[in-house]
Structures are given as C-alpha cells and as structure tokens.
C-alpha cells in the first residue's frame, strides 16, 4: 500500500464534517464584514516568496516545496497567501488608487517538523485590506478575528497579543543594535539563534531557549526604537480595541517570522494545543506592495490556521457536529428499489439543504433502521408498497418516540421534514 506523504493531511469524513462547519461559519463572518473572496494559485514563481516573505526567513530558507517547471522555471507551492494576494491584485490593477478588502482559503505548504497542530500541508483562511493606513482598519481586522472566535464559541480559549515593530527604518536601527549587543555573546546562544544572528536576528527574541532568554534580558528593547508616528498609530489601535471590548496583552517580543511586517503585529494564542499555540496571526505590511514592484500601498491582514481552530472547536464542542444525514430512506422490499430511488431524488429536489441518504445493500427493516440511527438522521422515510402506489411519504421519527410514525401526502411530508 502506498501511504500518505508525511505531514500531508488526510481529513476523514467525521473530521471533514467539522471542517465544513467551521469553514462555513468563518466565511459567513468574514463576508458579513464585507470582505470579497479571491482564489489564489497553489504554485507561484519561487522569486515571489523569496522577495515577499524574505530570503532570510525560515520559510524561504528551508521550508518551501520548490520544483523546476518543464521549461526550467523555479516554482514553489505557496507557503502562505499574503505575497500571492499582493501579486494577484497588483497584476490585475486592483491596488491602484483604491481600497480592497479580500479573503482567501485553502492549503499552504511548509516543510516543517510535523506534530499535533503542525503539518506540512495545512489550511489557512486569510483576510487582507489594502489602501488603508489608519489604525481603524487594524482594529477592524482584529475585531473580525474576535467575531470569528465568537461564532465558533471558542473566544474563551484564545487570547490576543499585540506589538508594534515601528517603521521600516526603526526596525532596521533596532536590528543593528540587537546584532551589536548579541555578537560578542554569540557562543552562549542556542544553535538556531546563532544562525539567525546573521540572517534574521529579530527572530532570536522568539527563542524558547532559557539561556538565550536570559541573555536577552539586558538586550536593547524594541519599544525604545519605535518612532513617534508608529507609537501614535499603536495608541490609536489600542484605543479602538478598548472601544470594541477586545482584551489584549502587549508583548514587546512579538516579532513574527515573516519579513514584510512594519508597525502593528498581532497573534491570537491558545494554551489548549500544547506548543502550537498560535491560531491566527497577522499585521501591517505597508512596504510589501512596493517591494514586489507596485506603488507604495498600505496593507494589513491576518491568516487563521484552520487546522488548529478545528482542533479547538473539537475541544469546545466534543459532540456538537451532527451525523452524516438528516433523512434516511429505507426500502421495505427489494422490488421497490426503483421507487425508493425516485422518492429519494424527489426529496433531494424538494429539500436541497438537507442531506438525504438512500439505504443500500438490502436487509430487513430493523437492520436498516439501525443504519438510519447511526447516520444521525432525525427521520427515516419508509418506502413500502402503499407509498410507492400513492406517491405519499411514510415518516418514522427516530429521535422522538412520541412522534412515532405518520403517513402523509408527498407535499405534507416535505413540509414536515422541512420543519425538522
Ligand atoms: P503565519 O504566522 O506564518 O502568518 O501563519 C498564520 C497561521 O497559520 C499561524 O498562526 C498558524 O495558526 C497557521 N500555521 C502556520 N504554519 C502552520 C503549520 N505548519 N501547520 C498548521 N498551521 C500552521 C502568515 O502566513 C501570514 N501570511 C499571515 C498574514 C496575512 N499576515 C498578513 N496577512
């Protein structure tokens, strides 16, 4: 047997039901905030991510699935959606002198070490806003995340951390100061941090290594380098979050692993999934459109890690997801198989939002009702000679014994099923 590739996700039917529910709720909330859906390609030129996400980031340095196209072009499976979103909107003239609010959903690919909550194929729902420079849009996006958690009933399981990286200049100055401080201490740093010192020093702040964290105690602090305009923006954001009643914690060590951020960065974090705590992350990336060849355009966004949010939903609602069918059609006699198919087809036409399953594989009524019960259906439709002859529906209520069984005309039966 050929097995699945390590880290690539198989989502089985019971899990897929929860995934559908979570995705549906999230997209409903995002659409409700007037964000427009876009669909991004899975493959892009490798250069897009090298320039967009940053050459020195872990993602580009060692986590991309890169392949040579038949004509020799270097392509990569998208590790995230922001660079592609900028590329696409820019390429089609959607960023010129206008504002855009968009969202996308789908698989992303990173060659990371798989564990619970961390996969090589994982799913994101991302939202991005372009052309808006004020802290009000940062707050809207954070409020959108909050509305998503509320819609899923997981708001008590996540907390918000925010920080400001300041302008691109401030960030550069801080970076230099950090390197000057840490370089003489290089030998005392953990291995990852030593490597990052040359490539992406601000990520050292993220290190989980206790000795490295000890060394960082006396390091230059990012907030001391942040410029006045950024502080004003940040204060504006904090004010709006207070207005919205969204609790937050300021974390001056929050720097994020992608190169494109300036000013606001934020993460929604949970303690319920072990070490993979970030369920959603984002921030402002005012320099990216220009870096990718467009005009300077303010931009801000986030991406929800769907795999982790589905795990949280499962913890919060162990049994909240219903079964595979709403209505289960039983066939009382093999001779009536054709009639049962017709009845099922007519029900599916009449009740397009319900999941209607036709029993297959024969067996007596008792066996069929057992299957109906296991499917989670509320009602079984019993196709017998009489209903086949008169075109009516015999309904057997499976969850409420008091309702028993009733024979109705087709239309009356459909009305009954519609009421649930
Ligand atoms: P990111 O922090 O790399 O940001 O990813 C966002 C979220 O995706 C994470 O918080 C996490 O929930 C989920 N995630 C990332 N890697 C994995 C993985 N290997 N397995 C499971 N889940 C994962 C971005 O991707 C940015 N594009 C976010 C953004 C949008 N910033 C501005 N706009």
Per-residue confidence at 158, pLDDT binned at 50, 70, 90?
Answer: very high
**Ligand 1: does its nearest atom lie under 6 Å from the Cβ of 128?**
yes
Residue 173 has pLDDT above 90, yes or no: yes
Residue 14 DSSP SS3: helix
Residue with CA at minimum distance from ligand 1 atom 20? 118
- Does the structure show a pLDDT above 60 at 349? yes
Out of 22, 77, 122, 124, mutate this one to test ligand 1's pocket (max ligand atoms within 8 Å of CB): namely: 124
Residue nearest atom 17 in ligand 1 by C-alpha distance: 118
In tens, the pLDDT along 68-98 reads 999 999 999 999 999 999 999 999 999 988 9
Q: Is the CB of 104 under 6 A from ligand 1?
A: no
The CB of 280 under 6 Å from ligand 1? The reply is yes
Closest to 302 measured CA to CA, from 175, 167, 162: 162
Question: Which residues, at least 6 apart from 247, have a Cβ–Cβ distance to it below 8 Å?
Answer: 159, 160
Please give the domain boundaries of the chain with CATH numbers for all domains. Answer: 13-167+227-316 (3.30.930.10), 327-419 (3.40.50.800)
Which residues lie across from 163 on neighbouring strands? 265
35-51, pLDDT tens digit by residue? 999 999 999 999 999 99
* Distance from Cα 48 to the centre of ligand 1, integer Å: 17
Which pLDDT score, from 0 to 100, does residue 402 have? 87
Q: Which atom of ligand 1 is nearest to the CA of 282?
A: 31
Q: Poorest-confidence range of 7-16, 201-210, 281-290, 360-369? A: 201-210
Ligand 1 midpoint to CA 256 (Å): 10
Per-residue pLDDT reduced to its tens digit, 195-247: 889 888 988 988 889 999 999 999 999 889 999 999 999 999 999 999 999 99
Span 94-104, average pLDDT: 95
Q: Return the ligand 1 atom nearest residue 279 CA.
A: 12
- Cα–Cα distances (Å) from 149 to 14, 98, 144, 270, 312, in that order, read 22, 30, 9, 12, 10
Q: Whose CA is nearest to atom 13 of ligand 1?
A: 305
Q: What does the pLDDT read at residue 236?
A: 98
Q: Please identify which residue in the block is written with the tokens 């039983």.
A: 330
For residue 123, report the distance from its CA to the centre of ligand 1, in Å.
Answer: 9
Q: Is the CB of 281 under 6 A from ligand 1?
A: yes
CA-wise closest residue to 336 among 358, 355, 351: 358
Query: What pLDDT is stored for residue 319 in this prediction?
Result: 60
More confident residue, 419 or 140: 140
Q: Give distance in angstroms: CA of 126 to centre of ligand 1.
A: 9
What predicted TM-score, i.e. pTM, was given to this entire model? 0.87
Substitution site in 107, 303, 304, 308 for ligand 1 pocket (most atoms within 8 Å of beta carbon): 303
Mean pLDDT of the chain: 94
Atom of ligand 1 nearest to the CA of 256: 2
Half-sphere exposure of 141 (CA within 13 A, CB side): 33
């Amino acid at each position: 047997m050929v097995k699945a590739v390590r880290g690539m996700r198989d989502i089985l039917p019971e899990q897929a039901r929860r995934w559908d529910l979570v995705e549906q709720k999230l997209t409903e909330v995002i659409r409700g905030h007037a964000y427009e859906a876009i669909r991004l390609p899975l493959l892009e030129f490798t250069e897009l991510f090298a320039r967009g996400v940053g050459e020195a980031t872990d993602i580009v340095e060692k986590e991309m699935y890169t392949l040579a196209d038949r004509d020799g072009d270097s392509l990569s499976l998208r590790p995230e959606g922001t660079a592609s979103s900028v590329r696409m909107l820019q390429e089609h003239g959607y960023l010129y002198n206008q504002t855009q609010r968009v969202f996308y959903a789908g698989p992303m690919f990173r060659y990371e070490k798989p564990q619970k909550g961390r996969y090589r194929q994982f799913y994101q729902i991302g939202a991005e806003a372009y052309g808006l420079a004020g802290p009000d849009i940062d707050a809207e996006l954070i409020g959108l995340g909050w509305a998503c958690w509320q819609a899923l009933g997981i708001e008590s399981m996540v907390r918000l951390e925010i920080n400001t990286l300041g302008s691109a200049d401030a960030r550069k100055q801080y970076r230099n100061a950090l390197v000057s401080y840490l370089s003489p201490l290089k030998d005392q740093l953990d291995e990852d941090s030593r490597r990052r010192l040359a490539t992406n020093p601000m990520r050292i702040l993220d290190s989980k290594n206790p000795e490295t964290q000890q060394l960082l105690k006396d390091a230059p602090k990012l907030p001391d380098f942040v410029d006045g305009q950024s502080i004003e923006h940040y204060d504006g954001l904090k004010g709006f979050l207070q207005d919205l009643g969204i609790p937050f914690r300021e974390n001056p060590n929050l720097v994020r692993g992608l190169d494109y951020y300036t000013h606001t960065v934020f993460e929604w974090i949970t303690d319920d999934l072990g070490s993979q705590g970030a369920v959603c992350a984002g921030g402002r990336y005012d320099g990216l459109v220009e870096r990718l060849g467009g005009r300077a355009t303010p931009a801000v966004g986030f991406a929800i890690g769907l795999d982790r949010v589905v795990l949280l939903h499962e913890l919060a609602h162990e049994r909240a997801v219903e079964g595979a069918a709403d209505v289960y059609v039983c066939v009382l006699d093999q001779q009536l198989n054709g009639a049962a198919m017709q009845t099922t087809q007519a029900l599916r036409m009449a009740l397009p939002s319900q999941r209607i399953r036709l029993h297959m594989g024969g067996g007596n009524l008792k066996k069929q009702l057992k299957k109906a019960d296991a499917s989670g259906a509320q009602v079984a439709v019993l196709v017998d000679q009489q209903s086949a002859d008169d075109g009516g529906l015999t309904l057997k209520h499976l969850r409420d014994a008091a309702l028993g069984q009733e024979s109705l005309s087709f239309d009356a039966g459909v009305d009954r099923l519609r009421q649930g």
